[in-house]
Structure 1
Amino acid sequence: MDMTLLERPLFYLGGHYVTALGLIAFVALFAVGVVVARILQSDAVRRIFSRFKLDNNFIAIVTTILSLAALVFFTVSAVNAAGVPLYWNAPLPGITLSLLQIFLLIALLIGVFWVSSRTKRFLFTTLLARSGLDRALQHAIAQIVGYAVLIIGIVVVLDNAGIHLGALTVFAGAVGVGVGFGLKNIASNFISGLLILAERPITIGDRIEVAGITGQVKQIRARSTVIMTNDGIAMIVPNEKFIDSPVTNWTYSDPRVRFRVSVGVAYGSDVNKVRDALIAAAREHPATLSDPPPNAYLEKFGDSTIDFEVIAWSEKMSYKPRRFKSELNFLIEKHLREAGIEIPNPQRDLHIRDGVIKVKIVSERETREGSEA
């Protein structure tokens, strides 16, 4: 191949001529940058980071930043290879930071996020775990300290990079406008998360019901809370829902929960015998508490049944209410059957006060002929 042809200028850019050879080098380095960026976003790289027991969200942020950094690095290198110099140490137009300083700033900010994450983990799993404090309070303290480390670290890094807080007033004003318009919900959820950590209306492990979702609190994060339903589905609920909506916390002050099961028996049954059978059925379940003791009440006289309500308290089954009620129903049916007490089907009695009702018996053939007609 004729090297003179490859070295011939193709066009003029930024005061420099770009040759065919420079253009080929640019395309090759840029392609390499794209490949490296995709590799850094792959599952294999994320599995490597997960060995360090980092949070999945943090791993996603780090891999995204690293892929972008790799893409920028190879793009700058490609531009240099094309014959248009971009100096790493030279300040970029319009700002006082060079490309090298920007990369160093990004690396330090990633380090601050990592230190914040590790601080929260260390406090919650090691230091506070030995303090004897309530686990929910330990989680709240760890979260607040982690946020404090994050904010202080960001301020220190920006200050050492020459970006003083006084210079961020215009940016802060723009952020304020953004909060007023598009970021209102994000700010509201973040503040609600801080209120939840401070007031603790819910804690990890509580069984709650909010916004039509029932389940166990698994994680309280900055902007949302993770609730695991009985179906094994993780529901992500915005934190503001816990502030502006009614929240039912089944285990807020007392882990014991009262369960009610309705049952109807046939008229003519001995109600005292029924009551004893129902209480015996509730007592037989191993998760039923003896204090308060189970009980049964005659609620009303229905159309076809005498209606009772069984009351049973449980602590272990507060996270499995449907299963507990089902098992109680099995025990109730067993004890009523053994006691010879009937659970009747709905019945309707027809009373004729006067007059005569004519009854005509029609054969199957006449019925078929009538329908065909």
Structure 2
Amino acid sequence: MTVTPNLLIELIAHSESVNLVWQLGVIAAIMLLAWWFDALFLKNLLAAKTVQTVAIRGVKRIVFPLLNLFGVLIAREVFRYLDAPFVLLKLAIPLFLSLAFIRLLVYVLHKVFSNSSKLRSWERTIAMLAWLGVALHVTGLLDAVLAGMDSLSFNAGHQHISLLIILQGLISIAATVLVALWLGRFLETRIMDMQEMESSSRVLLAKVVRGALLILSVLVALSLVGIDIRVLSVFGGALGVGLGFGLQRIASNYICGFIILLDKSIRLGDVITLDNRTGTVARLTGRYMVLSGQDGAEFLIPNEMAITQALGNHSYTDRKIRIKISLQVAYNTPLERAMDIMVEAARQQEHVMSDPAPTVNLIDFADNGILLELLVWLDAPEVSQAMLRSKINMEIWREFQKSGIEIPFPQREVRIKP
């Protein structure tokens, strides 16, 4: 095993060399050029709204350390060609490389876990571990620490397992899953922006892509560690038995979710009635759907209920919806005038359609008055029907008061005979 040189001791040994000043000047010039490119040149590129802007914006966080790293590598080769010491340049290489790694990892974490409250603590932990690795590398202790971790091992059959292998496996799985989640979030955003595709098809495609990326990331991570993925066939059989018994309801919800997305019976934005709850479909997930009610409440309804129970979709083929408003007028009321007032009160409201126009029907000659029914068609099923009814009734009440039209109520006459 090759031993990593102690860069710190080597730097101290050359601390009195004039060449050290030249190296400091070169590093300072490289950082100044990198800052100029990052602050001025990239700013002009990002001002243009192009497809390349997205890629530039994504890697902007690591441009500065990578430019410094590239410049230091060139300077190292120049110093090596001139047969001059370059220990400070060798020390700067892992520093800039670690800075680029930390910035890139933090950027990916922000994209994947944008709403996580523990993200700040994870950032500090990642930075501390990265700089700890740099410190071990600079002091030449990294190889000794890795060798010590590899010595803590045991054999499981033909497989040699050590603390180093376990750590490498955890890092590989975390890295591949993190990249898969970030790439899945990126692709999901792009897919959901494809307005020419059906909303349910977009949701289905996004979920299939994210699921495939996660499975592929785990398989790649296991292969990197050295685990034969063919042994997963045994695990697959056990998982199938578990799904058949204990997880059948969960599996049923996931399968029903894909059925809903495939047959397009429910789409984002549809107004449905399910389990005596009416609301707008705000989100479709693999296990449940989010139903947003008109009162602001959100219901998480398992997908299985949408398949096994009767469901009313108010916007399946047509987004029009009809409401009825019934009231009574006295027998001495001019009916034509009362009907005109009711129709005009409906026409003044927003979302009330003019075709078909509001109509009033005479329903019955009741005991206390004449029963009239106003039929109104709305162009948006998500409109609050209670608020619309209230506005129409208030307008009818005001006009009835002006016209002297009476709304009857039950009355009784009591006669006392001597």
TM-score normalized with structure 2 length:
0.60
1:143 pairs, out of 203, 207, 212, with 207
Residues 175-203 of structure 1: CA distance to partner in whole angstroms, max 9, x if unpaired? Answer: 22322322111111111121122222212
C-alpha displacement at 1:281, in angstroms?
A: 1.0
Tell me the CA shift for residue 211 of structure 1. 1.8
**Equivalent residue letter for 2:315:** T
Residues 221 and 114 (structure 1), Cα distance of their counterparts in 2 relative to 1, 3 Å cut:
farther
Cα deviation for residue 49 of structure 1 reads 8.6
Percent of aligned positions that are identical? 30
The separation in 1 between residues aligned to 2:315 and 2:114, in whole angstroms, is 28
* SS state at 1:171 partner: helix
For the residues of structure 1 that align with 2:222 and 2:289, how far apart are their CA atoms? 31
The answer to whether the Cα contact below 8 Å between 2:112 and 2:182 also exists between their aligned partners in 1 is no
Matched to 1:234, the amino acid is E
**CA 1:357 to 1:177, structure 2 compared with 1: closer, same or farther past 3 Å?**
farther
- From the superposition, tell whether residues 283 and 58 of structure 1 become closer, same or farther in structure 2 (CA, over 3 Å): same
Cα 1:93–1:229 change in 2 (3 A) is farther
Superposition pairs of residues 90-109 of structure 1, within 5 angstroms:
90-92=152-154, 94=156, 96=159, 97-109=161-173
Amino acid at match of 1:225: M
Once the two structures are TM-superposed, the CA of residue 280 in structure 1 deviates from its matched residue by 1.0
Contact 2:321 2:380 (C-alpha < 8 Å) held by counterparts: no
Partner of 2:269: 205
1:275 positional shift = 1.6
- Show the counterpart of 2:336: 272
Aligned residue pairs total: 289
Preserved contact between residue 315 and residue 381 of structure 2 (Cα < 8 Å): no
- The verdict on how the C-alpha distance between 1:59 and 1:131 changes in structure 2, with shifts beyond 3 A counting, is farther
Larger mean CA deviation between 153-162 and 202-211 belongs to: 153-162
Q: 1:323 to 1:114 in 2, by over 3 A?
A: farther
Read off the aligned partner of 2:262 and give its amino acid letter: A
Moved over 6 A (4+): 47-50, 57-60
| Closer, same or farther: CA 58–313 of 1 in aligned 2, 3 Å | farther
SS across alignment from 2:407: coil
Greater mean alpha carbon deviation, residues 223-232 or residues 99-108: 99-108
CA contact (8 A) 1:256 1:318 kept: no
Note the aligned Cα RMSD (angstroms). Answer: 3.4
Cα distance change, pair 175–336 in 1 and its aligned pair in 2 (3 A): same
Alpha-carbon separation, structure 1, partners of 2:283 and 2:151: 44
1:54 and 2:113 correspond = yes
Q: Which structure features the higher share of helix residues? A: 2
Letter in 2 for 1:210: L
Kindly indicate whether the alpha-carbon contact (under 8 Å) linking 2:184 and 2:213 is maintained by their aligned counterparts in 1.
no
Contact 1:116 1:147 in 2 (8 A): no
Number of the residue aligned with 1:334: 398
**Structure 2: segments with no counterpart, 5+ residues:** 1-105, 130-147
Alignment match of 1:252 (pick from 313, 316, 324): 316
TM-score, structure 1 as length reference: 0.66
Using the alignment, how far apart are the partners of 1:298 and 1:50 within structure 2? 65
Cα deviation code 1:29-65 (max 9, x no counterpart): xxxxxxxxxxxxxxxxxx99984363658989x97xx
Shift of 1:328: 1.8
Helix, strand or coil for the counterpart of 2:394?
A: helix
Q: Deviations over 1:239-282 (max 9, x none)?
A: 11111112222222222211211112122222222221111111
